[in-house]
Amino acid sequence: MNTQPFAKMRLGVVMEPCADDPKEAGGVLNPGGVRGPDGEYYLFPRLVEAPNYSRIGIARVIFEDGEPVGVERLGLALEPGAAFERNPHTAGCEDARVTYLPAIHSYVMVYSSYGPRSSRVALAISEDCFNWQRLGPALFSYEDHWLTDFNLFSNKDAFFFPEPVSDPDGEPALALVHRPDFDVGGIEPFVTLPKGIEEKRPGMWVSYAPLEEVRRNSANLVRLQKHRPLAFPEHRWEDLKIGGGTPPARIEHGWFMVYHGLSGHLERNLDHQPNVRYEAGIMVLGLDDPLEMLYRSEEPILEPEDEAESVGVVDNVVFPTALDARGGGRFDVYYGMADTRIGVVRIDLPDGFP
């Protein structure tokens, strides 16, 4: 099942830093993406003002003969202003993932807020893709069986499934994938794990917002509960950690998404890591139960090969964050390239997958 071939074609760079704009001097990367109410495809790139101050922009993808070739910049979606987005050294709204939730007739942006305790999952909501209202940081419920307060740890790479699923008790819910990091060490590593979890390397978890509560008040999207582990590192290309990439798209038998894995060597307390390699693989999860793993890549579907992916602010990075379902089993994956620019790769599913 892990040997299915995928047809893959790099379509090139669609967005690079504008040399005349200091807001982008540190790179444009890791965009959220979604089809807007007008049917156009919009990206929400991280715009970095050197050395490490991040905003989230808005850009409309330009297509020629059906292929993405560039973008039209349309301003900013978010810039750091709230206390949870600022720290004594810098500030950041980073690495957005955007999902349209028909159940509440809204677009939801999940992003990393670079605040006083490093990265924290935060949410914003919009009806039109252009005007965004902050809902605040994600609030993970304390649950005795884990003996862990998830709110105390760095957390990022988060997104919602676009449709309701069943939570672990069979109740309808909106599910959030996120990646808590239980390493709280400074100079030396110190990992404090939830009860019953033995894997120290960061992996992917799922938490749930009860559907009816969110329908009553969309602000309840931030109130997440019933946390469950989804996946941890398994393969050589994800030796250090894995994390969520693109919000999933429905295919015939499951939820299709692209995730990232990290290998190499991490230097503690550095923003830009010099000795790591980011690659990307595929997961397919159960339609009703997202904890059901139907497929997982043993080998990466995308790895740094081109110069644009291999040389940049951080070398050797492909970082998928947006997925555009084009029909007929085609998916366009938008991804950060070497923390500097944005590329897109076409992936075609084999017949009968998975």
Count CB-CB contacts under 10 A for residue 236.
11
The answer to whether the CB of 201 falls within 8 A of the CB of 232 is yes
Q: Average of pLDDT values for 192-217?
A: 97
Q: Determine the Cα angle at 196 with ends 191 and 198, to 5°.
A: 45
Distance CA 174, CA 247 (A): 13
Greatest CA span in the chain, whole angstroms? 55
- Cα dist from 326 to 34, 159, 334, whole Å: 12, 20, 13
Res. 6 pLDDT band, cuts 50 70 90? confident
pLDDT digits (tens, 9 = 90+) for 256-303: 999 999 999 877 766 777 789 999 999 999 999 999 999 999 999 999
Q: Comparing C-alpha atoms, which of 244, 332, 281 is closest to residue 35?
A: 332
Q: Is 34 exposed, middle or buried (0-12, 13-18, 19+ CB in 10 A)?
A: buried
Residue 334 pLDDT exceeds 50 = yes
Distance CA 178, CA 48 (A): 23
Residue 189 pLDDT exceeds 70 = no
Higher-pLDDT residue of 122, 6: 122
What DSSP element (H or E) covers 146?
none
Q: Which residues of 48-74 are buried (b: 16+ CB within 10 A; e: fewer)?
A: bbeebbbbbbbbbbeeeeeebeebebe
pLDDT digits (tens, 9 = 90+) for 73-130: 999 999 999 999 999 999 999 999 999 999 999 999 999 999 998 899 999 999 999 9
Residue 135 pLDDT exceeds 60 = yes
pLDDT digits (tens, 9 = 90+) for 214-271: 999 999 999 999 999 999 999 999 999 999 999 999 999 999 999 999 999 877 766 7
Give the tokens for residue 102. Answer: 């028909």
Q: What is the pLDDT of residue 187?
A: 54
Q: Which domains does the chain have, with CATH numbers?
A: 7-348 (2.115.10.20)
Distance CA 42, CA 156 (A): 22
Distance CA 67, CA 64 (A): 5
Which amino acid type is present at position 6?
A: F
Residue 312 pLDDT exceeds 90 = yes
> For tokens 């007739």, what's the residue?
105
Among 106-120, 170-184, 264-278, 323-337, the least confident range: 264-278
Distance CA 249, CA 328 (A): 13
Distance CA 293, CA 296 (A): 7
Residue 1 pLDDT exceeds 60 = no
Q: What is the pLDDT of residue 188?
A: 58
Distance CA 132, CA 126 (A): 5
Distance CA 331, CA 319 (A): 16
Question: Whole-model pTM?
Answer: 0.96
DSSP 209-276: EEHHHHHH-GGGGGEEEEEEEEE---SGGGSSEEE--SPPEE-SSSEEEEEEEEEE-PPTT-SS-SSE
Q: What is the pLDDT of residue 274?
A: 78
Q: What is the pLDDT of residue 354?
A: 72
Computed over every residue of the chain, the mean pLDDT equals 95
Distance CA 46, CA 77 (A): 10
Res. 2 pLDDT band, cuts 50 70 90? very low
